[in-house]
Amino acid sequence: MEKKFIGAGLLAGLIAGIISFVFARFYLEPVVGKAIDYEGARSDAEEALAHAAEPGGHTHGEGGELFTRAMQENLGAGVGNVVFALCMGAFFAVAFTVLWSYVGSRHPATDPRTVAGALGAIGFVAVFAVPFFAYPANPPAVGDDDTIGDRTGAFLTISVASVILAIAAVVLALWLRPRIGGFVSAVAAVAAYLAGVAVVLAFLPSFDEVPEPVRNDAGQIVFPGFPGDVIGDFRVYAIANQVILWSVLTVVFVLLVGAMARSRAADRAPAVSSHG
């Protein structure tokens, strides 16, 4: 059965990755294109300003792109989406297998589809929502190259901490359930999870690195700052893309688990009737 769960997770991840990529290709990638265009135009403005300040200087032309923009937004983004979704599907299946082995053995009447649906919601919050809330995704040209290591480390730290705290919260809820009831134990687990996240965030740095306007020596703006609407659109579509991915992953996995449960029940029915 464990192998079937893993297979279901991979299939659900594949479908979710394809659908989320289609959404990203038509909504997210055009916003990325605007950010890249801004980055190029800003670089030209800064170079022109530097050249005007030092007439004797020379410009530094950038080398050709290793991968064209068309390849990046189609093949690159497609492979990235699908691989990420497959990984999430595999992890989802492993987490479900562990959780169901505990819940199913102690509460046989529990519907596995309910457990899978709850796991999908927990996974979305722990893997994406909390890290995104702490460090929202930014389009190209937003962020300082000198702090990329710090930003990456902080994001990975809150991501790992969020997953670990979510696992601890689930364990806490299962331990408290027979003692204080399902609803109260769930509320207590959520409160403990949020408190743990707040503590971790208190020790992590914050970053505000949206490019400001380019100014000349007289203080006049020669090129505008990064457009706020591009950042807003990028983050909205990034959230929508992950909502689609996790929703499809969870729904497909729930359907596959339900089909496996019905098939298993059908296999048992003849055996029971033959002993009647």
The string of pLDDT tens digits covering residues 183-195 is: 899 999 999 999 9
pLDDT tens string 85-125: 999 999 999 999 999 998 877 877 788 899 999 999 999 99
Tokens of 106: 């102690």
Give dist(CA 168, CA 190) in Å, integer.
10
The answer, yes or no, to whether residue 249 has pLDDT greater than 80, is: yes
- Triad 114, 119, 120: Cα angle to 5°: 100
Strand (E) positions, 28-145? none
Bridge-partner residues for 223, per DSSP? 214
- Whether residue 211 is predicted with pLDDT greater than 90 in this model: the reply is no
pLDDT at 45: 85
The pLDDT mean for the chain works out to 87
Query: Is the confidence at residue 272, as pLDDT, over 50?
Result: no
Phi, psi of 60 (to 5 degrees): -110, 105
- pLDDT exceeds cutoff 90 at 10: yes
Low-confidence winner among 27-36, 214-223, 243-252, 262-271 (lowest mean pLDDT) = 262-271
Mean pLDDT of 149-158: 94
Q: Is the confidence at residue 275, as pLDDT, over 60?
A: no
The pLDDT of residue 261 is above 90: no
The predicted pLDDT at position 143 comes to 76
Q: What is the mean pLDDT of residues 144-167?
A: 92
pLDDT tops 60 at residue 62 = no
Cα 130-183-253 angle, rounded to 5 deg: 60
pLDDT at 72 over 80: no
Mean pLDDT on 71-81: 78
Q: Is the pLDDT of residue 39 over 80?
A: yes
Distance CA 219, CA 247 (A): 49
Q: Give the phi and the psi of residue 100 in degrees, each rounded to 5.
A: -70, -30
Average pLDDT over every residue of 197-219: 89
